[in-house]
Amino acid sequence: MSTIFTKIVKGEIPSYKIAETEKFYAFLDINPLAKGHTLVIPKLETDYIFDIEDEDIAEMIVFAKKIGLAMEANIPCKRIGMAVLGLEVPHAHIHLIPINTVYDIDFKQPKLKLESAEFEAIADSIKTTFELNN
Ligand code: 5GP
């Protein structure tokens, strides 16, 4: 059975998409730790990130870097933190999270509840910068 993230890539489940390439897809986390919290995933369904081929994981990180830079341009923060856990969804994903302190990337913190319009505005701003720069 497909993972929830494969369903997102295929458009079977909606997402606040930021960008995609032939191999990767970036979209807002639905339960964000901070405004702009983004997930970068491979389109090829792979559970454990370290099972991704060397060339592809390198490409995935470069893609995540470009997304992170577009986030930084739109979300006030000290920097973009990057984390990989993968304990909930069995489809490899990099979390990109705007942070000011170490507590902002603590996954035990309560998640933000945002309205759809706010998710859309955040995704649009990051997407626009990403497209201008790439
Ligand atoms: P992890 O597997 O790294 O522990 O966490 C999975 C992440 O995926 C969580 O931050 C969770 O909020 C996010 N997530 C789970 N289901 C969905 C979904 O259907 N849509 C989106 N956009 N994010 C999801």
For residue 90, what is the domain's CATH number? 3.30.428.10
pLDDT at 125 over 90: yes
pLDDT at 69 over 90: yes
**CA distances, 68 to each of 6, 60, 80, 88 (Å):** 22, 12, 6, 22
Catalytic residues: 93
Q: Pick from 89, 97, 116 the residue to mutate for probing ligand 1's pocket: most ligand atoms within 8 Å of its CB.
A: 89
pLDDT at 1 over 90: no
Q: How many domains does the chain have?
A: 1
Across the strands, what pairs with 42?
A: 24
Residue range 31-43, pLDDT digits in tens: 999 999 999 999 9
Ligand 1 interacting residues, C-beta cut-off 6 A: 4, 13, 15, 27-31, 85-89, 93
Q: Which of 43, 65, 57, 75 is nearest to 134 (CA)?
A: 65
- Nearest alpha carbon, ligand 1 atom 13: 29
CA atoms within 13 A on the CB side of 95: 23
Q: How far is the CA of 2 from the centre of ligand 1 (A)?
A: 15
Question: So what's the pLDDT on residue 14?
Answer: 98
Structural domain for 72, as ranges: 4-133
Q: Using a CB cutoff of 8 Å and minimum separation of 24, what contacts does 5-12 make?
A: 5/39, 5/41, 5/45, 5/89, 5/91, 5/93, 6/43, 6/45, 6/91, 9/41, 9/43
